[in-house]
Each structure stands twice: as C-alpha cells, then as structure tokens.
C-alpha cells in the first residue's frame, strides 16, 4: 500500500482527503463521524466574530440534475456557521485532542479590521488546531457585508489581511480563493506576497441554478424571491483544475502550496489535482450527496492506482502534469489523428454521423448495406476533433495516430502563420 501521507503549507495529514469548510464540518458530531470514516482532515465550517451568530434562510440549496445523475452541480445561499463562536471553539479543541493525527484547520471570516483578526486568532490558537484558512471566497451574503469574496476579489485586501494574520500568529495560514475573478493569479500572488503558507481553491462560483417558470423566480426560492448563490460539485471541477494549473505553471506563483477544491468526488478527481501540484484536496458536495463513506474508495482507489503506477508516496507524482500544460502556440501542428470506429461494438445509433455531418466536417458516412446501418470514417475528411468519440454512447470510437512522418512544428514556426518565425 502506497504512503498517502502528505502536507500543505506545513499542515500534515495522514491522507490527502479533507472535508472542505461547509455544513459537513459544522460541528463536533459531523467531524467525529468523518474522522471515524477515514477522512484525513477537515477545514471547520467558517467562524465569524463573537456575538450573535448569523441567521440562515430556507430553503438554501439549488441543484442541477442531468438525466439520472442527481446533483451534477449544487448551489447554496448559506452563510458562515450559525452556531455561537465559543461552542465551535470548544468542540474544535476537543476533537483535535481526540484525533491528534488528523489535520484540523479552522476557517475564519471577520471584518476587514486588524483588531478583529487579532482577537479571533488568539481564540483559535487556544484550540491547538493545525492551521487556519482565510475565507475570502464566499460569494453571497457575507460579501455584501464586506467580507468573503468582497475581500478575495481585491488583491490588495487579500495581501493585507494575510499579512495581518501572519504577523499575529504562528499558525500556518491558507488563503481560500474565490473563482469569481478574471484571473486567479492576482489574488494568488497577493496571498503569497502577504506571506500565506498556501492557497485553497476554489470556493464556489457565482450562480443561479435555475429559474422556476411558475414562480418566475430563481431557485432556491425563499418566499417568492431568490438571490445568487455559490456553485460547486462536479460541474465546477474543470474550472478548478484550470485555476490550479494557472497557479502551478505561472512563474510568480509556481510552487505555492495548494489545497485543491472543486467538484472532487473520488480518488481519480483528487489524483488529477495532486498531479497539478496540490498537497491536499477538499470535498464538500460529494459528501453532501453520498455521505462520508466515499472516503473508503478514495483511500484504496488512490493507493491501488499509485501501486500500479509505482508511486510510493504522494510527492512521487505531485505536480507531474504541470510541465505538460502549455500555451496553445506551443502545440504540435503536425500531430495528426483520425477517428476509428470499432464496428463490432457499434450499436448503430448514428450519432457520430449526424454530429459530424451537421456540426463538423462531414467525415462519417452513413450507409445501409443489405438493410444494415453502417457508419464509416472518411479518413481524408477527418480533422481529428474528437467530437464523435465524445458523443458515442458505447465508447467505441478511438482516435488513431496517423504516421505522417512530419517533425514537431508549433504555430510560431508554422508557415501558415503570417507572424511565424519560419525561415522562408
């Protein structure tokens, strides 16, 4: 069995699977159940200042279902923890004491005033947790009060608050980033400049799940009205991957420890983020869909895969995909592939034909031979776009490499490029 232990920004964890700061980590009861199930760490549900806790509305969630797949995406309009600060702190301290080997990170969101941060940092230190996460990401409710994404969208604020925290505590500081920005690099750079030990990303994406056409209001609907919320779940994973990749391959931010979040539902998703350099991964929607038990498969799935690949420890493949993420102009223009249909597996749905015919390059013929449908790739018309492969419901189309004998040539070298460097 591979060694799954890992760390991010100096915070150690027996495995890379954490629960993200959200309802699953809102109280001792849940977190203990999660640790019993095998989760390596948690980021406790975001704490706010002492005083009357925030109040939530109902309903709070909206979801996108596709076919029989429930919750392809989840949207919420919840705020930070609605339980008293002292209760949370007491429970955090107790759980950390009972589960010393697990990572206990505490998420924080207080107003953008240094004193407010100093005050809460001292209280949190007393819990002996392993680190803190600054919630600069929450896109709804809290941002209207000048917190969460309202801070996360302004790199100067991110840097300032991060610096306050670093100068008032020795606890490792992770900065949780909002994806609701034009480029993730600004806030990531700011987190680094402020002295942050790492970044957690992504928080939820601004969203409206759907419009109820009877109520003529967005969902989730609260007494006839709705507001935008934060989107998460499998639907956001591609965006999260892109943002992690940007941080990993940009000179200014490369090497910044990352705790990856966004649509992670299984070991394979987690492995993808680790391959982009993440030290730990965080999960919210998947456990809100299936419960904590999914970590069992995450642990043995990742371990078996690593064994098969010969990776003894997480760092053996961490960041391995980063060098292969490049700009479009560096791609090989001479690399050629064409679609190939495995006729024995083809069920004759004709989708490959109709999509190529209607929307691509007219490269799949449709014929009837003795009453039998037959779909065939016309090699010379196929541009290798892969569309047919993706629509095939039986997975019987593969892309075959054409050996054209041509060497690597990118766009900057391509004679078809009016600005190419190619020697005439």
Partner 1 sequence: MGKSMAETRDVAAGRCTAPALAEAFADLHAPLTEQQAYNESSRCFYCHDAPCLEACPTGIDIPGFIRRIATGNATGAGRTILDSNIMGATCARVCPVEELCEEVCVRNTGDHKPVTIAQLQRFATDALFDANMQPYARAAETGKKVAIVGAGPAGLACAHRLARYGHDVVVYEARAKAGGLNEYGLAAYKMPDNIAQREIDFILSVGGITIETGKALGKELSLDQLTSDHDAVFLGLGLSAVNALGLDGENVDAVEDAVDYISDLRQAVDLSAVAVGRRVVVIGGGNTAIDAAVQAKRLGAEDVTLVYRRGPEQMGATDFEQDLAQTNGVIIRHWAMPVAIKGENGSAVEMTFEATQLDGNGRLEGTGARFTLMADQVFKAIGQAFDAAPLGGGAAPEVSDGRIVVDENGKTSVNGVYAGGDCVAGQDLTVSAVEDGKVAAEAIHLELSGQNSNKGVS
Ligand X SMILES: Cc1cc2nc3c(=O)[nH]c(=O)nc-3n(C[C@H](O)[C@H](O)[C@H](O)COP(=O)(O)O)c2cc1C
Binding site for ligand X (CB under 6 A): 20-23, 45-46, 74, 76, 78, 80, 107, 135, 137-138, 176, 203-204, 232-233, 236, 261-264, 283-286
Beta carbons within 10 angstroms of residue 207's beta carbon: 23
Name which position in 363, 375, 392, 410 contacts ligand SF4 (CB under 6 A): 363
Asked if residue 276 binds ligand SF4 (CB under 6 A), the reply is no
DSSP 110: -
By CB under 8 A, how many residues form the interface with partner 1?
13
How many whole angstroms separate alpha carbon 240 and alpha carbon 223? 33
Instruction: Decide if residue 392 touches ligand SF4 (CB under 6 A).
Output: no
- From residue 106, how far is each of 93, 169, 214, 278 by CA, in Å? 11, 13, 41, 19
The three-class DSSP label of residue 94 is: helix
Q: Which does 102 bind (CB under 5 to 8 A by kind): ligand X, partner 1, ligand SF4, none?
A: none
Q: Give the chain's radius of gyration (CA, Å).
A: 25
Which part of the chain contacts partner 1 (CB under 8 A), choosing from 20-28, 150-158, 203-211, 342-350? 342-350
Contact stretch for partner 1 (CB under 8 A) within 41-49, 132-140, 161-169, 343-351 = 343-351
Report the candidate in 275, 270, 321 with the shortest Cα–Cα distance to residue 300.
270
- Is the backbone peptide bond immediately before 45 cis, with ω within 30 degrees of 0? no
Query: Among ligand SF4, ligand X, partner 1, none, what binds residue 203 when CB lies within 5 to 8 Å by partner kind?
Result: ligand X
**Closest distance between partner 1 and the C-beta of residue 376, in Å?**
14
| Helices and strands in the chain: count of H runs, count of E runs | 12, 20
Q: Which of 44, 31, 41 is nearest to 5 (CA)?
A: 41
**Cα 231 from Cα 262, distance rounded (Å):** 9
Residue 262 interface partner, choices ligand X, partner 1, ligand SF4, none, CB cut-off 5-8 Å depending on type:
ligand X
Supply the minimum distance, in Å, between the C-beta of residue 49 and ligand X. 14
Residue 384 makes contact with partner 1 by CB under 8 A? no
**Annotated active-site residue in 112, 129, 138, 346:** 138
As given in the structure block, the two tokens for residue 238 are: 């591609």
Task: With contacts defined by CB under 6 A, name the span among 35-43, 205-213, 285-293, 356-364 that binds ligand SF4.
Answer: 356-364
Q: Which helix (H) or strand (E) holds 218?
A: strand 217-219
At its nearest, how many Å lie between partner 1 and the CB of residue 264? 25
**298 binds, options ligand SF4, partner 1, ligand X, none, Cβ within 5 to 8 A by partner type:** none
CB-based contacts of 410: which residues, under 8 Å, 6+ apart?
A: 329, 330, 331, 332, 333
Decide if 138 is catalytic.
yes
- Quick one: 205 or 351, whose CB is closer to ligand X? 205
Binding site for ligand SF4 (CB under 6 A): 339, 356, 360-361, 363-364, 377, 382-388
Catalytic residue ranges: 138
């Amino acid at each position: 069995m591979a060694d799954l232990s890992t760390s991010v920004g100096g915070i150690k964890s027996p495995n890379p699977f954490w629960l993200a700061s959200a309802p699953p980590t809102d109280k001792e009861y849940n977190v203990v159940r999660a640790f019993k199930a095998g989760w390596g760490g948690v980021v406790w549900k975001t704490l706010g200042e002492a005083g009357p806790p925030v109040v939530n509305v109902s309903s709070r969630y909206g979801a996108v279902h596709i076919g029989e797949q429930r919750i392809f995406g989840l949207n919420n309009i919840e705020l930070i923890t609605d339980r008293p600060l002292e209760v949370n702190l007491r429970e955090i301290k107790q759980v950390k004491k009972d589960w010393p080997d697990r990572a206990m990170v505490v998420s924080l969101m207080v107003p953008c005033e240094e004193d407010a941060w100093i005050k809460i940092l001292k209280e949190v230190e007393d819990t002996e947790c392993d680190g803190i996460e600054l919630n600069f990401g929450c896109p709804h409710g809290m941002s209207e009060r000048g917190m969460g994404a309202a801070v996360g969208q302004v790199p100067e604020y991110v840097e300032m608050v991060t610096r306050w925290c670093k100068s008032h505590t020795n606890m490792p500081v992770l900065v949780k980033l909002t994806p609701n920005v034009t480029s993730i690099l600004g806030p990531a750079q700011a987190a680094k400049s402020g002295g942050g030990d790492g970044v957690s990303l992504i928080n939820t994406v601004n969203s409206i799940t759907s419009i109820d056409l009877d109520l003529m209001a967005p969902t989730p609907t609260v007494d006839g009205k709705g507001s935008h919320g934060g989107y998460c779940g499998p639907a956001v994973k591609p965006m999260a991957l892109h943002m992690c990749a940007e941080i990993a391959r940009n000179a200014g931010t490369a090497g910044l420890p990352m705790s990856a979040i966004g649509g992670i539902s299984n070991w394979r998703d987690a492995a993808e983020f680790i391959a982009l350099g993440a030290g730990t991964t965080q999960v919210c929607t998947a456990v809100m869909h299936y419960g904590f038990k999914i970590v069992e498969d995450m642990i043995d799935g990742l371990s078996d895969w690593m064994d098969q690949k010969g990776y003894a420890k997480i760092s053996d493949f961490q960041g391995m995909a980063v060098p292969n993420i490049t700009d479009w102009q560096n791609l090989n223009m001479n690399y050629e592939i064409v679609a190939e249909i495995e006729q024995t597996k083809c069920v004759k749905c004709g989708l490959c034909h109709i999509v190529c015919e209607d929307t691509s390059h007219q490269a799949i013929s449709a014929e009837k031979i003795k009453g039998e449908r037959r779909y065939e790739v016309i090699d010379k018309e196929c541009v290798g776009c892969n569309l047919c492969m993706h629509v095939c419901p039986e997975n019987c189309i593969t892309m075959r490499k054409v050996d054209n004998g041509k060497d690597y040539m990118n766009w900057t070298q391509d004679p078809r490029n009016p600005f190419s460097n190619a020697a005439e």
